[in-house]
Amino acid sequence: MRLHPKPIQTFRDDFSYSNSEEAIARFPFPFPQDDYMYSVNIEPHVTPGPEGSVFEHLLDIDEHYLSEMAERDIVLRENAQRCLAMPHMDVACWDLIERAMTSLAADYPQHFSLVREGERWTWQNRLLDIHDSFTFGDSSTLPLPPLEYIGRQLQGDFALLDQRDGDLFMDAGIVTCPADWSLRFDAGMSFSEWHGPVPLAHEMGVFERALKYLTAIPVGRPVRRLNWTLTINARMDSSPETFPSWGSDRTTVTPDNVGEKVYLRVELQVLDRMPRSNALMFSIRTYLMSFDDLVTNPDWARRLHRVMKTLPPELVEYKGLSRFHPAVVEWLSRFDPAN
């Protein structure tokens, strides 16, 4: 199965975003058991993964490509600081250009192509009608700064972590669809600093073990993990910067409209070592699915009910679900025969 990008839909205002049956079938449902707690849930991102799945390629391109690129453009026009790169991250940004262009051209040759003649590179993105020649490593030959240039052509958010003193630092990124965190706020922070607000995980030693694992990732051996939260409406940009435009959505959920209003938001996070800079690439590919679509799969519906019902209160609070969590549990109970 191949998902071809469809015409532009919106993640704001009239929220015209929708998932096809194929997109529902390949949704990365994140719950392997009936309850959920934080863990070091990291596994090798071996590619090619199962054909047609979101794990098939290093970077997943799907039917929402044009919509997500249009949404990114809106966010960057409103606030240019949603893309930041400290000067010492320049080589890492070029690393990302190389990794993204070579893998997209190999994995989706119908959409992307790359011709390399020494340092002279020619890149074609047929989906966005882009055809550029540039000198690799020379930013003056690109129409935009390197990270913004490539970030505007990739689904999902990207952070580039500088590695020094056995720690990781958030020194560059393009983040236009975060689940309630800010690149501008976290810029320059270390791994445990930017994870500061997360409850329970520090005490459980999750971050200490994860950091050891991440700093040892070699070139060519990417790893992945899934994270999740709930979002009201199909809103990609749930950032602190734009909180005034989405915070009050949480008060609009009733037991009757959960199916259409509440979305499971799953992040497929891939970590990949960059060869020149030794930076770590962290990509956050977000998949949104309405509860109405999720419950078309009875196994997912039942499991989601059990996970939501038993979710530790600290996680309910941290993930911002307190206002509507009881309505969600009640609505989902209809789909759980054991209830």
- Among residues 116, 184, 225, 323, which one is catalytic? 225
Span 264-303, contacts to ligand HEM by CB under 6 A: 280, 282
Distant-in-sequence, close-in-space partners of 185: CB < 8 Å, separation ≥ 6: 240
Dihedrals phi, psi of 188, to nearest 5 degrees = 85, -10
Q: Residue 217 in 3-state DSSP?
A: coil
Q: Residue 105 or 311: which CB sits closer to ligand HEM? A: 311
Question: Is 152 an annotated catalytic residue?
Answer: no
Q: Residue 155 or 229: which CB sits closer to ligand HEM? A: 229
Among 198, 226, 301, 316, binds ligand HEM (CB under 6 A): 198
Q: Does 42 bind ligand HEM (CB under 6 A)?
A: yes
Q: Does 318 bind ligand HEM (CB under 6 A)?
A: yes
In this structure, are strands 280-290 and 262-273 parallel, antiparallel, or unpaired? antiparallel
Q: Does 230 bind ligand HEM (CB under 6 A)?
A: no
Q: Which stretch binds ligand HEM (CB under 6 A): 61-69, 80-88, 241-249, 315-323?
A: 315-323
CB of 243 to ligand HEM, least distance (A): 13
Q: Does 226 bind ligand HEM (CB under 6 A)?
A: no
Q: How far is CA 232 from the centre of its chain?
A: 17
Q: How far is CA 24 from the centre of its chain?
A: 17
* Residue 70: burial class (beta carbons within 10 Å; 0-12, 13-18, 19+): middle
Q: Residue 216 in 3-state DSSP?
A: coil
Query: For residues 46 and 141, what is the distance between their CA atoms, to the nearest angstrom?
Result: 34
Tell me which residues are annotated as active site.
Answer: 225
The footprint of ligand HEM (CB under 6 A) covers 38, 40, 42, 159, 161, 168, 170, 181, 186, 194-195, 197-198, 201, 206, 210, 214, 225, 227, 229, 280, 282, 315, 318-319
